[in-house]
Amino acid sequence: MKKLLLLALLGAVPMMAKSYATDFEKDKAGALPKDWKSEMTGSKNAEGIWQIEREGNNQILRLKGFKEKDRATYNLCYTKGVDFKDGEISVRFRADSGHEDQGGGIMWRVQDRDNYYVARFNPLEDNFRFYVVKEGSRHQLCSADHIHLKKGWHEMKIAQKGEHFIGYLDGKKLLECSDHSLTKSGGVGVWTKSDAATSFDTFQIEW
């Protein structure tokens, strides 16, 4: 009887959530974060230069530049060391520069460089959007427009459960939509478009 009661109590307790967090402080300056890699969507020849940089007392991850003049359409830096399907991801980001684009944000359920979800904010357009990239082609899922953020650091967060996801900027819920294009778990990371040089810090996941 005691054994049955104990099993019943254990069944009522939710399983502990997994978590992953990095502020890039333990990574080597001038290199990529441990177990992360740099890739691109839209070009096989171009390559963005991602690296850890020291800034004051902190270390940040930044898209520093490009190895080729023919830049990739989308610049990726991600890890498959985390197998993410449902949960929450947040990151601090700062749009530093970019003539063609300054969009940057979070990517998740990454299958490979041509298949993933992305949430990005672009100060040149003042909008915050969800996209799915399928077979290298990007499709907009939903958009929040007229979002005016001051220059500097901001926080982006996405919450995913099944086909449904929500997007936040600085704690304010701005996006909500559903999509079933990518149902498998996958990697996580950060993303920029075209010549957008964006900095990232305090990357956290709970799932």
Pull the structure tokens for residue 186: 């996958």
> How far from each other are the two terminal CA atoms of the chain, in whole angstroms?
34
CATH number of the domain located at residue range(s) 19-206 in this protein: 2.60.120.560
Q: For 33-60, what is the mean pLDDT?
A: 90
For residue 48, what pLDDT is reported? 85
Prediction pTM value: 0.90
**Residue 27 in this model has a pLDDT that exceeds 90:** yes
How does pLDDT run across 143-200, given as a tens digit for each residue? 999 999 999 999 999 999 999 999 999 999 999 999 999 999 999 999 999 999 999 9
Q: Label residue 2 by pLDDT band (50, 70, 90).
A: very low
**CA-CA distances (angstroms) from residue 203 to 68, 96, 154, 158, 194?**
28, 18, 12, 12, 22
Are 60 and 153 a contacting pair, CB within 8 Å?
A: no
Task: Name which residue leads in pLDDT, 5 or 106.
Answer: 106
Residue 44 has pLDDT above 80, yes or no: no
Output the pLDDT for position 71.
63
Between 173 and 71, the more confident residue is 173
